[in-house]
């Protein structure tokens, strides 16, 4: 492209793209160095984060707080979690590309579908009279579902209250797929609130004009909380039905059949990653509908 004087110049959007790529690269490297993900997980996270940031900065800030919040909550009562999960969740829990994709790949697909349908990447305002808001809330539903379920597992599994299987309400060992308790439910809502806060931070970083013309945006924080609770509930219910849980000879809950293990629940039809992806997809459909009640 040439200016009025015939000189070649680089469009300003290339600078923005380079900044976005560099930011996502740094975050992916940080997650890799701190053992949050392995190399394949870092590569997958880089592409997903770049896609979300390119379409909507609010998606990206919601994702960042989801990751930061999850890394912090993993250290809560870490010694007790070793007894429940059989490993230290603060170290060596390197998520690979399948895990990262199961959590956030559908969100990036919805984001790009929104860009194709609306032909703009500036549909950032949560306004239920605007069809693009449904896509925004669908993405929020997936990210908050992932965050809420993780917070629920990390907090609920070390709670003093005995967990119960969500389908039959009988008492089961901590760490059982589909096990819930009050602490886990509260944690799932808080985990969703963190994602909603991240989305709101992305919005207020926009121009003053966007803020002035937009409806009140603070309810999106509460929408994130609802998404976290709902996503965790769906994940738990599906996990109780389709994800295998058994008690090993060592007294630890395992997700595959072992010799001399006692079956607790689940048919073993799906694994945890499939459950996570399915719960996120369902939440992406339900959250926009529920948000009509309290969003402008």
pLDDT tens digits along 149-174? 999 988 887 878 888 999 999 998 88
Question: Residue 260 — φ and ψ, nearest 5°?
Answer: 70, 20
Strands (E), 1-154: none
Mean pLDDT of 26-31: 81
Of residues 44 and 191, the one with the higher pLDDT is 191
Query: What do you get for the CA distance between the two ends of the chain, in Å?
Result: 42
What per-residue confidence (pLDDT) applies to 7?
Answer: 45
Instruction: Please give the pLDDT value at position 231.
Output: 95
At 128 the three-state DSSP class reads coil
Torsion of CA 126, 106, 42, 221, to 10 degrees: 30
Q: What pLDDT sits at residue 52?
A: 87
What pLDDT shows up at residue 3?
46
70-93 average pLDDT score: 64
Percent of the chain with pLDDT over 70: 78
On whether the CB atoms of residues 202 and 62 are closer than 8 A, the answer is yes
Q: Where are the domains of the chain?
A: 58-92+121-290
């Amino acid at each position: 492209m040439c200016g009025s004087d015939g000189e070649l110049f680089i469009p300003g959007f290339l600078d923005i793209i380079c900044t976005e790529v560099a930011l996502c690269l740094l975050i992916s490297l940080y997650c890799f160095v701190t053992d949050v993900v392995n190399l394949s997980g870092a590569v997958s996270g880089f592409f997903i984060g770049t896609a979300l940031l390119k379409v909507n900065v609010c998606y990206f800030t919601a994702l960042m707080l989801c990751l930061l919040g999850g890394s912090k909550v993993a250290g809560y009562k870490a010694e007790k979690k070793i007894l429940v999960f059989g490993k230290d969740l603060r170290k060596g829990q390197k998520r690979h590309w399948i895990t990262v994709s199961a959590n956030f790949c559908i969100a990036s697909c919805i984001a790009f579908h929104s860009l194709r349908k609306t032909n703009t990447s500036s549909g950032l305002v949560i306004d239920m009279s605007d069809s693009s808001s449904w896509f925004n809330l669908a993405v929020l539903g997936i990210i908050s579902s992932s965050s809420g379920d993780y917070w629920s597992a990390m907090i609920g599994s070390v709670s003093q209250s005995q967990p119960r299987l969500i389908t039959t309400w009988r008492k089961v060992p901590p760490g059982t797929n589909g096990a819930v308790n009050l602490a886990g439910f509260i944690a799932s809502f808080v985990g969703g609130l963190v994602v909603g806060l991240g989305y709101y931070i992305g919005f207020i970083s926009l121009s003053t004009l966007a803020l002035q013309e937009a409806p009140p945006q603070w309810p999106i924080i509460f929408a994130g909380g609802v998404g976290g609770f709902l996503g965790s509930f769906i994940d738990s219910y599906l996990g109780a039905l389709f994800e295998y849980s058994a008690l090993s000879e060592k007294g630890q809950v395992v997700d595959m059949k072992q010799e001399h293990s006692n079956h607790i629940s689940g048919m073993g039809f799906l694994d945890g990653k499939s459950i996570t992806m399915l719960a996120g997809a369902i939440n992406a459909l339900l959250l926009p509908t529920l948000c009509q009640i309290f969003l402008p």
